[in-house]
Amino acid sequence: MPEGPAPTGADEETVGNLKRAVGGARPTQSLRRKPRRRFPLSGGWLVLAVAAVILAGIAGLVWWYGNPQSSGGRSQSTSGSGYAYQVGSPGPGSAAPPIKLAATDGSSFDLATWRGKTVLLYFQEGVGCQPCWTQIKEIDSHIGDFQALGIDQVVTITGDPLDALKQKAALESITTPVLSDPGLRVSRSYSANSYGMMGTGADGHTFVLVGPDGQIRWRADYGGAPNYTMYLPVPSLLADIRQGTKGGT
């Protein structure tokens, strides 16, 4: 097969240009690959952004239901005791819903008969909540301090049957009247079953102060999320009552 003519200088220059053109095309190829490498990255950032939005939404829901200033008539208190509490509805300034329940001392407690007096209602979880009963015993032992604040009567209310409450009150030597609210009819009228660890199936740790005119003067729902406080020292309770009613020291 005959050999071709030897390349001239012009041919060598052409070959060199071709090589440079081919060599110069490589960076162009690399640049064309970069969008393909960036596309998965953009998708990854998109997934992370969506996940961040979802997490923020979950955090918002947790805050909404756990924050004392969330909906449902709840508001945050300014506690003088350091024990955070919520203020449910009906709250201060509202008429106290009627109460007529059987008590462990054999009587029937009717809130309407206490018009002209100040009554402190203590809604609590019941027989299975020992801190709640410790709270009642402390109130018993400091009843003079409550009377010094102008409180004429303290009663505690729970959804347990009366027989069970009589046994527990006798065992704990409780003198404060314990009222049985089976079915939580009264408790629900005060929304006291909305602030505890048992969902809406039991009361939490709620105090409601009813004034002589039948209006609620002060309210504290200690048993709600996130702390679920089921006991606080009586001096702390008294401090919050004083602050909430603008009473004396």
Residue 198 pLDDT: 87
Which pLDDT band holds residue 9 (cuts at 50, 70, 90)? Answer: low
Nearest residue to 155 (alpha-carbon basis) of 131, 181, 178: 178
- For residue range 104-147, list pLDDT tens digits in order: 999 999 999 999 999 999 999 999 999 999 999 999 999 999 99
Assessment of whether the complete model's pTM goes beyond 0.85: no
Q: Which amino acid, one-letter code, is at 140?
A: D
pLDDT digits (tens, 9 = 90+) for 169-186: 999 999 999 999 999 999
pLDDT at position 46 is: 62
Instruction: Determine phi and psi for 217, rounding to 5 degrees.
Output: -95, -35
Q: Residue 246's pLDDT is what?
A: 83
Which of 1 and 196 is assigned the larger pLDDT?
196
More confident residue, 43 or 30: 43
The pLDDT assigned to 56 comes to 57
Q: What is the pLDDT of residue 107?
A: 94
Percent of the chain at pLDDT above 90?
A: 64
DSSP 109-173: EEGGGGTTS-EEEEEE--TT-HHHHHHHHHHHHTHHHHHHTT--EEEEEESS-HHHHHHHHHHHT
